Structure formats: C-alpha cells, structure tokens
Amino acid sequence: MALHAHPGIVCHDELFSRDFVHGYRPKESLEPQAANGVLATQLLEERSSDPEKFLFERVFAVGPRLQVGFKVVYSDLFAGTETSQFLRSFLIESRIRVIHLRRLNMLRCFLSVERMRRLGITHSNQPGQKSCGRLHLDLRDFTRFIVSQDNNCDLVARSMNIIANPRYENLPQGYNKVLDALGVLRRPFVEHLARLSDQSLSELVEDVELFRPFDFPRLPGFAAYTD
C-alpha cells in the first residue's frame, strides 16, 4: 500500500496466488471501470486461461508514465503450479526489476505464516483482524521453515534482477531506497505499521522461553513490543 500511494506507482497486491486474485489496483483516473467493476472471479478466470495475456493486458496496462508492479510471496512463486512456473520463468527471463523484501526475524515470519494457515487468511486479507490465541509451535517445524526461506531467498537472489533489498525491520529507510531504485521522487513513509509486530512473544506462543532466543531483530522506529 505504501508504494501504491505514490502518485507515480501502481502496485497491485497478490495477483498470482494459487487460488485467488487479490488487490487489483489500476489507477482510477486511468481505468475507473476496471478499478471498481472487475470481479476477482473474472480476473482469476482470465489469469487461469492465459497468464501471459493477463499479465500484459491487466497488470501492466496502466499508462506509460507510471511504474507498475505486483506482490508475490515465496509460497506462491515456488508452488509448483502452472501459474507459478510461468511467473518464475517470466521474472527470470524478462529481467524485470525485482524488489526483494525479506524479514530478518524468522520467528515473527513463521508466526505470521502459521497464524494465517490456521485461520485460513492471507497476507492481503486483513491479517490484523483475527486472533487464534497463543500458538503451540514445534521447534523442528520452525527449523525447516528457516531452511526453506533461506533456500527460496537464495534462488531469487541468484536468478532474478534484484534492484533493492529492503528489510521488514527497517521499512521506513528501505522505502526511500526502493523509490531511488525505481527512479521516482522520494516521499515520506506514512504507512500505519502498528499491526506488524507490536505484540510481545508471550502473547503469541505457549513455550515462550524456548523461542525467545530467536526473537530478533526487533523493530526499532515503528513498532515497540516488550516481554
């Protein structure tokens, strides 16, 4: 949302997830009917039938003076579906510019993924609106998650045209670095970030002492949480 708020950028949300299309955001002034009248089911059908046509006619067709992009998460990029295979090939072969956002606190990342899995929600589906209580986590599952994330990160870094590597823990600083890499004017970072990780670990997991050593780095500057 912070990128999409920039007047020179269109940033769609998760348009290539396995079972849904979310956050189709053409600029209203350019395409008012598409912004307000196209159903997600219609977009999903178009994407399923011809993902390349969907990419160029729906995602990128926003006007010559705008930067345009979309969000994709590791689990969808490496899902093994036809859509994910097409998208991965396109990102590698076209050398399209990639902003590689990574979260350094793998415990908070794992908690977010586990919570969404148990609630049946997504990164884009108002994750701050539901609670599943304190989670019972398996340390082996967490370790496997770290290995998987590191492998995915390495694949992206080695094969794609990375122009910026912002970090979740330092988004306000990373935001302007991304704008610089895209060649657009800097703007203040004003996105509300209180929901990102402002809960203490004791509110999120059952075995706090087992997982406390993994709860780093913290989020200085825009979210405070203490134990």
Does 54 fall in a domain? Answer: yes
- Residue 20 pLDDT: 84
Q: What's at 215, amino acid-wise?
A: D
- Confidence (pTM): 0.82
- Residue 99: name the closest of 171, 35, 151 by CA: 171
Does 163 fall in a domain? Answer: no
Q: List, for residues 92-110, the tens digit of each pLDDT value.
A: 999 999 999 998 999 999 9
Residue 89 has pLDDT above 60, yes or no: yes
Does 210 fall in a domain? Answer: no
- Residue 222 pLDDT: 43
Q: Which domain holds residue 55?
A: 1-94
Q: What's at 196, amino acid-wise?
A: L
Whole-number Å distance between alpha carbons of 63 and 105: 37
Does 84 fall in a domain? Answer: yes
Phi, psi of 137 (to 5 degrees): -110, 150
Measure Cα distances from 200 to 54, 98, 149, 218, 220 in Å: 42, 32, 23, 11, 14
Measure Cα distances from 226 to 77, 104, 128 in Å: 34, 18, 19
- Mean pLDDT value across residues 206-221: 82
- Residue 223 pLDDT: 43
Does 200 fall in a domain? Answer: no
Question: What are 205's strand-pairing partners?
Answer: 135
Phi, psi of 98 (to 5 degrees): -120, 130
Decide if 174 contacts 167 (C-beta within 8 A): yes
The number of distinct structural domains making up the chain is 1
Question: What are 164's strand-pairing partners?
Answer: 99
Higher pLDDT, 192 or 205: 205
Does 36 fall in a domain? Answer: yes
Whole-number Å distance between alpha carbons of 216 and 106: 8
Pairing of strands 67-71, 161-164: unpaired
pLDDT band at 119; cut points 50, 70, 90? confident
Does 40 fall in a domain? Answer: yes
Higher pLDDT, 72 or 195: 72
- Residue 117 pLDDT: 84
pLDDT band at 6; cut points 50, 70, 90? confident
pLDDT band at 122; cut points 50, 70, 90? low
Does 99 fall in a domain? Answer: no
